[in-house]
A and B are shown apart, each in its own frame.
Chain A
Amino acid sequence: MRLAILDRGHRLRTRALFVLIRIVSRQPVLDAVKVALYRPDFYRAGPLTQEAMRGPSEWSVGDRELMAAYVSKVNSCQFCVAAHSATSSLWYGDDAKVAATLSNLETAPIDEPLRATLRMLGTLTREQHIDEEDIRAALAAGVTPQQIRDALAVAFAFNITDRLADVFGFEVAGQAAMMAGARHLLRRGYG
């Protein structure tokens, strides 16, 4: 991590929690967790991310994790691609579907509304904005306005997280640690 405070600057009780996580999970604490718990009075995206990723929605948890992975791929954020493709794969019970979506959205074995939504989020993330044409294309594929709103919230959360991950230099941990993180996100969420 590029800022030492994000590795070692936490409050005493947060540092104690990190020790506990290392003992219980027998894995290192992921950099995403370190940043999420650094100065929460200043930066606390957990409640918003929790609502976007686990709040009531017509999108499944797996779909939203796939959106997070896809947005992260467009942002070239390796840490978040690894974390959220693992989480999405675990939820779907289908690694191949997630890998295919990240490899080629147009040929991936997913429903058309999800494909159209990912396409829209990809444009938003790449171009920094979308317009009415992008929205109409999603609606024409059967996506509801509320699903669009929910998907935009997911993209918002990850367009913040991806940037922090890359600027602060999150390290992609070993596969066992990333899988432990994915299991935690499915069990406990982001709160």
Chain B
Amino acid sequence: MSSGSWSRADPMSPAIPRDGLAANMTDIGRLHDALVRRALDGDGEAPRPLRRAAYDLHGLDEPLRTLVDKTAYHAYMVTDDDIASVRSAGLTEDQIFEIVVCAAIGQATRQYESGLKALRAVAAD
């Protein structure tokens, strides 16, 4: 096993102290901001307001609304027909890709932030 690889026998990279003092993830907030910014504001084929609406789950018309709601709440139930419907409405594959990515990031962000908010509230007690 090469140095610095991740394995059961060598779970910690040599770059990471084993004393636990620096054993904190540090960059999640910054990485999260960058992820959201690229998807919502970066170059894309779907208009930015549409990407924002998918992220917020708000203000979308059918058939996009069904696809975006399913992405957020029960993605495993999405069918070929859901994709075919938005394609028939005139969206390109890249637009569909972007809108689904925005919907997924938006819902995961709301979940994540609810956890962080609850943690902060308990810490403030």
Contact = CB atoms under 8 A, between A and B. Distances in A.
B11 A156 contact: no
Given A48-B27, A153-B28, A167-B100, 4 more contacts: A77-B75, A149-B25, A156-B112, A168-B100
A42 B32 contact: no
A19 interface: no
A30 interface: no
Contact of A124 (B27, B103, B111): B111
Contacts of A181: none
Interface residues of B, number: 59
Interface of A: 2-6, 9, 38-39, 41-45, 47-48, 51-52, 54-58, 60-62, 75-78, 90-93, 120, 124-125, 128-132, 134-136, 139, 145-146, 148-150, 152-153, 155-157, 159-160, 162-169, 186-187, 189
Contacts of B27: 47-48, 51, 55
Contacts of B110: 128-129
B96 A152 contact: no
18 contacts: A2-B80, A3-B96, A4-B93, A39-B97, A47-B31, A48-B31, A48-B35, A52-B25, A54-B13, A91-B7, A91-B8, A148-B115, A149-B25, A152-B112, A163-B72, A163-B104, A167-B70, A186-B8
Contact of B11 (A6, A60, A134): A60
Given A55-B26, A77-B76, A163-B75, A149 B119 contact: yes
Contacts of A125: 111
Interface centre among B13, B75, B80, B96, by most chain A C-beta atoms within 10 angstroms, is: B75
